[in-house]
Amino acid sequence: MITININGLTLCHKGSGGISHNTLPDVCKTPPFGVPVPYENEAYSADLIKGTTSVFADGGNMIANVGSQFARSVFDEAGSMGGILSGTNMAETEWISHSFDVFFEKKPACRLTDKLFMNHRNTVNMAGEIQAPIEAMPEVKYLCQVICTCDASPTTSASGKTDLKEFCVETTLLNEKNPFNTIKPEIPYDMTKTPPRPLLNREALKDGIIRPSEYLPKRMKIEKLKPAKANGGIYQVRVPDAVIMRNPAIPDLTAPNLKAVVEIKFDQAWDPIQIRDYGLIAGPDKVVLLSPTICLCAKEESEQEYETDEATETDEEREGFYETMQKLTGLTGAALVIYIIISEGSRLFPPRNLFPVP
One DSSP character per residue, 5-40 reads EETTEEBPBTTS--EEE-SS-EEEEETTTTEEEEE-
Q: Do 118 and 193 sit in the same domain of this protein?
A: no
Q: Do 127 and 196 sit in the same domain of this protein?
A: no
Phi-psi domain of 238 (left: phi exceeds 0; alpha: psi -120 through 50; beta: other): beta
Q: Do 11 and 112 sit in the same domain of this protein?
A: yes
Q: Do 89 and 9 sit in the same domain of this protein?
A: yes
Number of structural domains in the chain: 2
In a domain, 128, yes or no: yes
Alpha-carbon separation of residue 56 from 4, 63, 188, 304 (angstroms) = 11, 6, 37, 7
* pLDDT at residue 221 tops 90: yes
Q: Could you tell me how far CA 59 lies from the centroid of its own chain?
A: 20
In a domain, 143, yes or no: no
Query: The domain containing residue 335 runs over which residues?
Result: 5-132+303-348
Q: Do 9 and 105 sit in the same domain of this protein?
A: yes
Q: What is the pTM of this model?
A: 0.67
In a domain, 268, yes or no: no
Q: Do 25 and 123 sit in the same domain of this protein?
A: yes
What are residue 19's DSSP bridge partners?
44, 130
Which pLDDT belongs to residue 210? Answer: 85
Q: Could you tell me how far CA 309 lies from the centroid of its own chain?
A: 29
Q: Which of 239, 255, 273 is the last residue of a domain?
A: 239
- 120-148 in b/e form (b: 16+ CB < 10 A) is bbbbbbbbbbbbbbeebbebbebbbebbb
Distance CA(185)–CA(200), nearest Å, equals 12
Q: Do 109 and 199 sit in the same domain of this protein?
A: no
Q: What would the pLDDT profile of 240-285 be if each residue is shown by its tens digit?
A: 999 999 998 888 999 889 999 999 999 888 888 898 899 899 887 7
* 69 closest CA partner among 107, 30, 23: 107
Q: Do 203 and 98 sit in the same domain of this protein?
A: no
Distance CA(40)–CA(123), nearest Å, equals 9
Q: What would the pLDDT profile of 89-145 be if each residue is shown by its tens digit?
A: 999 999 999 999 999 999 999 999 899 999 999 999 998 898 877 788 889 989 999
Q: Do 202 and 122 sit in the same domain of this protein?
A: no
Q: Do 107 and 226 sit in the same domain of this protein?
A: no
In a domain, 152, yes or no: no
Distance CA(293)–CA(60), nearest Å, equals 11
**What is the number of alpha carbons within 13 Å of residue 166 lying toward its C-beta?**
12
In a domain, 145, yes or no: no
